[in-house]
Amino acid sequence: MPQLPTENRKDTPRQPASGRGLVSGRGLGRDAVVAAICGFVVVLMVGASYAAVPFYNWFCRATGFNGTTQVATAAPSSAPLARKIAVRFDSNVAPGLPWKFEPERTEIEVRIGEVVTVFYHVTNQSARTTTGQAAYNVAPLTVGSYFEKINCFCFTEQTMGPGEKRDMPVVFYVDPSIVTDSDNEGLNSITLSYTFYPLRDPAPKPLAASEPDRRKGNL
């Protein structure tokens, strides 16, 4: 009996379709990898945005960048130099804070390395309790890394009752190493500037263990 041609036989195995299924699977895998990478980048950017502010503050304090002063824990170990420098004091109040804020003196002359205490006078001129917080810098900006503050009211919430008056001290010295810095050669004056900003929602103060928490009301 004659045999049927190969192409007409029913039991002839079919060839698989061109690798469209395989290519499609690979495409889906590639898309998943791209999506994962994009998600990781988004998470990284969000984390970087939260870390940017504390990192910037640390950088400014460490380098004196943008006129940020340094924080000292004690007076310099060496004696003050004979060279003197004028330190000027500036005060500002941002809109929305009804305070009068001014230095006791607008300018003093100090020896480099000498520890000095000056006071700023603050008065709440409103008939209600208000809260503010001060920011600061020094000029020229190259002096920031040499202006050492031992005590200061900046970056601390200050809550004042109606008509309350308060004297706020600043204890500082100018680091003697400034005389070896060529960027500050010939410098004869420094300006320390403060600005008080209003705080709408000050942080709640912790209650003493024996004090009832009236904020929760009667339970």
pLDDT for 34: 62
pLDDT in tens, 171-198: 999 999 999 999 898 899 999 999 999 9
pLDDT beyond 50 at 151 = yes
pLDDT beyond 80 at 159 = yes
pLDDT for 206: 58
Cβ–Cβ under 8 Å, residues 193 and 93: no
Give just the sign of the alpha carbon dihedral 118, 119, 120, 121. negative
217: region left, alpha or beta (phi > 0 left; psi from -120 to 50 alpha): left
pTM, to two decimals: 0.61
Environment class of 21 (CB within 10 Å of its CB; exposed 0-12, middle 13-18, buried 19+) = exposed
pLDDT for 66: 43
Cross-strand pairs, 167: 121
pLDDT in tens, 55-114: 434 444 444 444 455 566 567 778 999 999 999 999 999 999 999 999 999 999 999 999
pLDDT in tens, 8-53: 555 555 555 555 555 555 556 666 666 666 666 555 544 433 343 3
| Cβ-based neighbours of 176, under 8 Å, separated by 6 or more | 76, 78, 80, 81, 112, 113
